[in-house]
Chain A
Amino acid sequence: MKKIYEKPVITKLQTGFMNKFGSSPLYARKIRKDIDGVPISELVEKFGSPLFVISEKKLREKFRQIYNAFSTRYPNVQFGWSYKTNYLKAVCAVLHQEGAIAEVVSAFEYEKARNLGIEGKEIIFNGPHKPVEILEVAASEGAKIHIDHFDEITDLEKIAEKLGKQIKVAIRINMDTGIHPQWDRFGFNLETGQALDAVKRIASGGKLVLNGLHCHIGTFILEPEAYGREVEKMVKFAYEVEDNFGFKIEYLDIGGGFPSKNRLKGTYLPPDVAVPPVDEYAEKITESLYSNLRPGDFPKLILETGRAIVDEAEYLITTVFASKRLPDGRKAYIADAGVNLLFTAFWYKFNIEIDREVQGSNEPAVIYGPLCMNIDIIDEGTMLSPLERGTRLIFSPVGAYNNTQWMQFIEYRPNVVMVMEDQTVEVIREKENLSDIEKRERLPERLKIK
């Protein structure tokens, strides 16, 4: 067989150091030929490229792993599926089947959950923007409403009067848990006494019944101890409320923010080392619960873990469309998917796998997306061996926030498929065409091109 010509490259030699690529930077490569037993080539052939692929098996496994980490430690655990992380119907449905309720933050998400068949009382309604109309619907359907600000208390009291019944509510609080930046823009601050003021305000109004507390300390938190502090403060506050106001705090929603095995840009260690296992979080949280709760009292512990559940269950298959050499000598590849589909590329350095064995040693490479925009870069510096046109690049984990924050910009959005547990493949979101995008557009008669 004739050997393919490889252009020689010069790579700076480093010895005696740890290197940020893991094993040998020159020959390490990751090959993935299938997802859950379905070949990449078959997937692309049937559903095109780029292609989002979700593994049902992995999604369920991940959910169960995290759920069990908590349920084997504390007897009253409920997960709320954070819709904004990934609200594709199939994903939500799988997680609802696993026992999660819905956690929504807008009228749109609320309606989406209802449309999927989730009852009002199985929905946690969070967020700073809850217009009165949807708030009234949620209140009458018995949703768990988490109040974000004093104006919302006023809105809800009006609704309670209109509906002629008391409404059960929770308040969101924020606090110092040693995490920076401190998320103090949502809810009522604990340390300044604002949270207590909110409880007083609710009690004096007499139209709302406080039955839960909610807090969310941040995102991609790599310090389990922070949750221990969060729980301690929440439990103490809950008892203060119970003892002084006669409300019964039935649940503590400690939010989410657990990291996935993704690699934040600028971190040196690989995620397997940098990200603590979920058991460590569960241990800290439940120990803090047991040491602060009164004996025999097991309020419901609600978790809104999003990223940690779904991120690793989804892949994006892309195809090398062209390659070029940049003036500084680096190799550049143009993939058929970019930041239009991978919003999280702005802060993650993805795991990149290729679909076939390749020859040659690695060289520094940049991966660009297809957009005619300067910002469209998926990875600005990685080590890849020379790839021929048509090679598939598989990016992961991409399950969190991409299917919700992607944009129809310049390109159409592609198919999303789910590899089911029995290895069949289902399209769960069809690729777009022109009519999808123009459906809502109206061209005034006089502007029509004759």
Chain B
Amino acid sequence: MGKIVREIKAVLNSYSEILFLESYVAGFVILLVTFLNPNLGGAGIISIISAYLFARFLGIGETFLKTGFYTYNSLLVGLSIGYLFKLTPLTVFFVIASSITTLIFSIMLYSIFSYYLKIPILSLPFVVISSTIYLAVSNYTNLFVNALYPHINFSFLENYIPLWISGFLKSLGTIMFLPDVFVGIVFSAIIFFVSRILFMLSVIGYYTGTITAAFLTGSYDVAFSDISHFNFILISIALGGIFLIPSVKSYLIAITGVIISTTVLSAIKTFWSFYGIPAFTLPFNFISLTFIYVLGVLGFPYMAKVIRKTPEETLDFYLTNIKRYRGSHNTIHLPFSGKWTVWQGFDGRWTHKGNWKYAYDFVITDESGKTYRNEGKQLTDYFAYRKPVLSPVRGRVVKVISDLPDNPIGQVDRENNWGNLIIIYDQRGFFVEISHLSQNSIRVKEGDWVEVGTFLGLCGNSGYSPQPHIHIQVQPSADIGSYTLPFSFVSYISQNRFFSNDIPKEGEVVEPVFPDKSLEIKMTFILDYSFEYEVIKGKRKDNLYLTVKMAPDGTFYFDSGKGQLYFGKYEGTFYFYRIDGEDPYLKLFFLALPRMPLFYREGIEWEDFLPVKIASGEIKKSLILFLSSFNHNLAQIHYTGRFEKDMKIYGRITSKALSIDEELQVELDETVGIKSIKFKDTHIKLKKFIHSKEG
């Protein structure tokens, strides 16, 4: 039963996908609307079903099919045939054949585009196949004998609506081959309901393009009567809200794209009309794909790396993640123990420049900021001198130099800039170099395997080092003096605050922490672990069952039946990554503990940011996100966690824009997971923990 429902949803998603929506409800409404013209509706449904079945026959994965991703082009082709011909056995045959052709072509194009160009296929397969078909049918006289038919429409509505509005509505309807005011009204309602950003973009796109066309042609009537202007709507939506993160800059790009496309549209129409075929969505595909490709090549900062169901969600995800995950992928630990001070960071004042700008220098300072006691004329006066240097990564030692002398204060060794050093290869594909160690203090040799925290040697003053300090950098090769790569430090404390993965600033006092074994075990959730929670909300009592499952990409999640909460551990921090579905109780888990250091010290704080969708009501959320697209700093939801006594966690969620200021308490269980969460009048308590299905 569930399987059939899933398949129906997949089919419906193909309908909504054409308007860049991923909603089977919207898809269902659109499906119904296509049946205003039964021939159109019929051809559509036949094409989609045949494409879907053929895709299954080829064994295309369910996850891909579910989105309607491969099949919406077939649907468009089917609609284009249904638009021309009445449904007869012959046209049905023709629809099925074309639909399968489109599917095959879509898959091929997808494979080529995604691999070589890193761009989507949009509705290019539809343009190619439908154009081909329209060219071909002129030969199929058999089709014309009894299949052509007059179109029924609600054109009477146009009498009550001014042209500049009806033009927009008809264009909108034309996307589904229904150039009709009524259909336009339904579609705009659907778009508005799903996403205000998309609705705004469709309006902006249409009017920008049409007015530009009117300027060029000199006739507003002609411009507003041209139903192929739906291309403007699609360009605007695709650029401004789907493939780019909604922002003022993206909106400007969308408008630019629309304006440019007016010429492209005219050109294509002139050329195509020789052969009696419409422009279809070719201008849209041409302009959008060009922009997406170019922006991708240029590394435009607002390219959407993860596209969610609506622009609002994409924006929410983007804004939250950009704040949540700072740092980099080249993550290393601080190479020492205790509190050290950043003397020089990236792009530093003295030596961290040019090719060597990604490097850190650390010293030890006293309360007044001095790095030495007495007068600082002796090496031994310096706090950093002969302090242990620990391995920042796990990997293999590939180079060691240890025989250079420690320079007396006031002298530097210009011959051997890097001094005594160790280079370690991290298997994630980078090298870490640590410099200026004390003469003959290095305890590892080339070929040794080291773990994070392995004792390497002692801090010294060899090489180009005016005072004892630790220099560390990440580089792409094992060569001494290689250029450097960006990196970041994981699991450290600065000013009583825990940082998961970040780049400390100059002058910051940092202290590395190492994961607590007991806490790490506590936050290890193995497949099929299940938790039974009791939820008390005011006077209501409820139950919540969570089971640990794994997604195809390898991430684990808690499944409550109604929603999925993804989690993971990375370099000393436990994270809830994201939540799918609608489960208010599951949301509370995310809300209560978006991340947690795997290290306990009373009073330690940490911060995080929550997606807007987690923390607010539906209407407020959509309004805030709509406004946020104009100002990305508008609606951040800030989370602060603090370890209290006995590993209890106190959390606080604040947001000025959303006027949120809530407190919550989390308790960890003795053995595994979360024991209780208190938030407002809701109290979630662990009742039972089951190791596996067998119990």
Contacts and interface: CB of A to CB of B under 8 A. Distances in A.
A74 B455 CA distance: 10
Interface in A31-81: 68, 71-76
B386 A75 contact: no
Contact of B386 (A76, A283, A290, A298): A283
11 contacts: A68-B338, A72-B336, A72-B337, A72-B383, A72-B387, A74-B388, A76-B514, A279-B386, A287-B455, A295-B451, A296-B454
Nearest to B450: A295
Nearest to B459: A72
Interface in A56-111: 68, 71-76
A291 interface: yes
B514 A75 contact: yes
Interface residues of B, number: 21
A290 B388 contact: yes
Number of chain A interface residues as a range:
10 to 19
Interface string B502-534: 000000000011100000000000000000000
B251 to A, nearest CB: 50
B340 interface: yes
B265 interface: no
Contacts of B455: 287, 290-291
A240 B330 CA distance: 38
Contact of B338 (A71, A290, A296): A71
Interface of A: 68, 71-76, 279, 283, 286-287, 290-291, 295-296, 298
B364 interface: yes
Contact of B337 (A73, A295, A296): A73
A211 to B, nearest CB: 11
A20 B636 CA distance: 70
B131 to A, nearest CB: 64
Contacts of B339: 68, 71-72
Contacts of A74: 337-338, 388
A159 B386 CA distance: 47
B264 interface: no
A290 B514 CA distance: 15
Nearest to A295: B451
B82 to A, nearest CB: 66
A164 to B, nearest CB: 16
B337 A71 contact: yes
Contact of A73 (B338, B451, B454): B338
Contacts of A291: 443, 455
Nearest to A75: B337
Contact of B453 (A71, A73, A279, A295): A295
Contacts of B338: 68, 71-75
B513 A295 contact: no
A290 B389 CA distance: 11
Interface string B352-365: 00000000000010
Given A73-B387, A295-B453, 4 more contacts: A72-B387, A295-B451, A295-B454, A298-B453
A312 to B, nearest CB: 15
A283 B338 CA distance: 14
A283 B388 CA distance: 9
B452 interface: yes
Contacts of A296: 451-454
Contacts of B443: 290-291
A279 to B, nearest CB: 8
A296 B443 CA distance: 16
Contacts of B512: 75
A286 B514 contact: no
A73 B340 CA distance: 11
A196 B582 CA distance: 58
A365 B348 CA distance: 62
B427 to A, nearest CB: 16
A290 B387 CA distance: 13
